[in-house]
């Protein structure tokens, strides 16, 4: 069964550094998402992406964050000037159409030191 893949599985970064989290959505999916989950808390929506542009974003997704689909397969989340509170699990998800469920990747655990 096709899967959403995320790399790396764990990223450790110094505070203030930039980090790029990578995702390869399922190939025929059209809608892409990033979520984060701070340890022990609920999953929070960051951004959705469709037709090569952001379709929705949450309050969390400020100027520090950006997303990109640099080619036909990758979907990246860039966090500029990371802060301690950015430490979380970041999930990428994709879905085929509006009525289909989102399929999640296994997540990238981001640790900011």
Partner 1 sequence: AQKITQTQPGMFVQEKEAVTLDCTYDTSDPSYGLFWYKQPSSGEMIFLIYQGSYDQQNATEGRYSLNFQKARKSANLVISASQLGDSAMYFCAMREGLGNQFYFGTGTSLTVIP
What is the contact surface with partner 1 in residues (CB under 8 A)?
31, 33, 35, 41-45, 48, 50, 55-56, 58, 89, 91, 93, 98-99, 101-107, 109
Least CB distance to partner 1 at residue 14 (A): 23
For partner 1, give the closer residue by CB, 82 or 90: 90
Least CB distance to partner 1 at residue 57 (A): 9
Least CB distance to partner 1 at residue 107 (A): 5
Give the Cα separation of 94 and 39 in Å (integer).
Answer: 22
- Cβ neighbours around 82 below 10 Å, total: 21
Q: Is the dihedral of CA 97, 103, 4, 61 positive or negative?
A: positive
Least CB distance to partner 1 at residue 32 (A): 9
77, 92 contact by CB (below 8 A) = yes
For partner 1, give the closer residue by CB, 39 or 84: 39
CA-nearest of 50, 17, 37 to 106 is: 37
């Amino acid at each position: 069964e096709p899967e959403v893949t995320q790399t790396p599985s764990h990223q450790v970064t110094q505070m203030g550094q930039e980090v790029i989290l990578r995702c390869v959505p399922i190939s025929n999916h059209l809608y892409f998402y990033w979520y984060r989950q701070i340890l022990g808390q609920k999953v929070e929506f960051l951004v959705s992406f469709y037709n090569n542009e952001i379709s929705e974003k949450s309050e969390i997704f400020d100027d520090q964050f950006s997303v990109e689909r640099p080619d036909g397969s990758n979907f990246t989340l860039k966090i500029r000037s990371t802060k301690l509170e950015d430490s979380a699990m970041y999930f990428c998800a994709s879905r085929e159409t509006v009525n289909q469920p989102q399929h999640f990747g296994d997540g990238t655990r981001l640790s900011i030191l």
